Amino acid sequence: MGSPLLLRRLASAYDRELSLLHQLLDDSVQKVAEMTSSAVKHPNGPAMSALARTELLGFAQASLAVRRSRLRLKSCGDEWVRVGLKGSEVRPRLRMRPPTAELVEASLFDEATLRGPAGSVVLMWNWDPGRGCLRSLALTRVESMLRWGIQCSILEEIPISASAAGLAEDPFHGSIPLGASNDDDDLSDLVGVWDEDDDIQSERESSDARDEEDRNDDEGDSTVGER
């Protein structure tokens, strides 16, 4: 199921929701990375996936931003997370990117293309064990979800960014609003100093100066008043 056009439309129509998902997922991954930081060895893929999944569902349940958005996250089986996007029939699954994932070069007139777009829509995430945070999240169309661990061909991939600016504009995304820091506003425009020169200059002096400027304009530019 799915088509290149559908995938792009989906990414564009739900960019806010997908960015929000990126943020939530990053938070969950970071939390799990912190939890497991004292372990001798980094958790392997599926273990990380399972822990992050639990955290993600917890974060989503408590998130005001999720409550206010069209994003809905539900557990699906023991390992999967189903990403619901209100108004869309496509409910992509969220899954950790398998090591076998490989982008397949699209070729014209191959059998699959002639039969029509195929595959499944999956949101794939990957983490950066060195930095302990989310490395990537992408909306992908994979050829098949069978034997996922052994072979995973990606037909199309649209990376999702955190798009902090977009989220920051929304005051309801549930995190600290902009301007909450003590340094965000320096009040520089709030208090003015009376300019002594301006104040001392009397109204008459000001009028004289203005009159002088006007006269200079008239005298200096011969084209003034021609038309």
Partner 1 sequence: MPATRKIVMTTKATPLWGNAEVEVFGERLRDARLIQRLKSGDIAKRAGVSQSWYSKLEHAMSTVLESDRAQGLAHALDFPVGFLSSPPVTPVQRGSLLFRAKKSLAKSEEDQLVCWARLVGDLIHSAEPKLRLPFMRIPRIPSGMPPAEAARATREALGIGNDEPVPHLIRTLERGGVYVATIDFDVDLHARNHDAFSTWIGPLLDIPLIGVRATESWERTRMSVAHELGHLAMHHSRREGDLEREAYEFAAEFLLPLHVLKQEWPESTTLSSLMPLKRLYGMSLASLVEHGYRNGLMSGGHRTSMYKQMSNRRDHATGERLRVREPGWRDREVERPKLVATVAEKAFGGTASVEGLTTKIFSWRADYVSKLLEGQVTDWARSLTLASEGDQRENLAQVVQLRAVGTRRGRA
Q: Which residues bind partner 1 (CB under 8 A)?
A: 58, 61-65, 67-68, 171-187, 190-194
CB of 23 to partner 1, least distance (A): 13
The residue type found at 14 is: Y
- CA pair distance 20, 14, nearest whole angstrom: 10
Residue 189 Cβ, how far from partner 1 at the closest point, in Å? 10
Residues in the chain: 227
Measured between alpha carbons, how far is 112 from 122 in angstroms, rounded to an integer?
19
- Minimum gap (Å) between residue 87 Cβ and partner 1: 21
When the beta carbons of 22 and 95 are compared against partner 1, the nearer one is: 22
Query: Which CB sits closer to partner 1, 40 or 193?
Result: 193
Q: Given the complex with partner 1, which of 32 and 101 has the nearer CB atom?
A: 32
Residue type, 124: M
Considering the complex, state which of residue 9 and residue 74 has its C-beta at the smaller distance from partner 1. 74
For residue 106, with 0-12 CB atoms within 10 Å meaning exposed, 13-18 middle and 19 or more buried, which class applies? exposed
Return the DSSP state at 225: T
Gyration radius of the chain's alpha carbons? 29
Amino acid at 203: E
In whole angstroms, the minimum distance from the beta carbon of 69 to partner 1 comes to 12
